[in-house]
Amino acid sequence: MATGKRPTQTSSAPWGRWALILAALVVAGGIVWWMARPTTAGEDAGAAREATAGPGPQPLDLSAGGPTVEAAAAVDAPAESLASAGSEIPRGVDISNDPRLGSAAAPVTVVEFSDFQCPHCATFHGEIFPALQRLYGDQVRWVFVNRFFPQHDMAERAAMAGECAARQGKFWEFADPVFEGQAGLSRAMLDGVAEDVGLDMAAYGSCMENAETASEVSADQAEGERLQIDATPTFIVNGRRVVGAQPIDTWNEILAPYFGR
């Protein structure tokens, strides 16, 4: 009996393989998406960081006053204050015993209300202040007044340490590394900076325990409250109040007219 060809059976194997490959791609894509997606925890952490850092510098409108630039209060003040320096100087700001940098004859005096634990204050002192010193030198006199806030747990002690450094004529040398190391602010850190800048540590220790030091820091605090300084850094520049760690261009807008620039 003659034999014919075997009937050919159509195989579904190639379609099965493609289905498996497609399924594998879908699964792989799902894994990649799952690993790359933003998590709620990450979003919450980012929001928390923004809340801690606070708002950025406020835009400055030199034409209108407002919350960023306004007239400084005119009130009675002791003789050792800016009130005695002439009509161009902001009246009513008591700077008794506060550290100064620059010439007393400078045409511009900037009084800074600052907090050693304030991030924007650290930005100003680390990035903006050195540039302004290079640009204007002794033509601008700087006065530092501590205005700390209760939520900053080390700020009051840092203010006292700054006062003790000022008594030994080394406030500015002390302030720079304290702002730079702000993230690690502690008693040990403050004592370490005091030693590094060459303070007499016995005198420093006595000063830190002295009620008069605490009283002077409290007086600075009261002055900030009296002038309604509710954000740091806040500056009083020849009678105008400037709020925030403003950029160099903004400072040039404020200062340059005093020098015919």
200: in domain: yes
Kindly report, residue by residue over 88-132, the tens digit of the pLDDT.
334 567 787 899 999 888 999 999 999 999 999 999 999 999 999
Residue matched to tokens 């850092």: 53
106: in domain: yes
Residue 62 amino acid letter: L
Note if the pTM is more than 0.75.
Answer: no
51: in domain: no
SS3 string, 140-201, reads: EEEEEEECCCCCCCCHHHHHHHHHHHHHCCCHHHHHHHHHHCHHHCCHHHHHHHHHHCCCCH
- Which CATH number characterizes residue 234's domain? 3.40.30.10
pLDDT of residue 217 exceeding 70: yes
CA 151 to chain centre: 15
128: in domain: yes
Residue 245, domain extent = 87-255
**Which residues, 6+ apart, have CB-to-CB distance to 97 below 8 Å?**
80, 166, 216
Write the burial class of residue 5 (CB in 10 Å: 0-12 exposed, 13-18 middle, 19+ buried): exposed
Cα four-point dihedral sign 220, 224, 130, 138? negative
Number of domains within the chain = 1
177: in domain: yes
Distance, CA of 32 to CA of 28 (rounded, Å): 6
37: in domain: no
80: in domain: no
Is the bond leading into 233 cis (omega within 30 degrees of zero)? yes
Query: How high does pLDDT run on average in the chain?
Result: 75
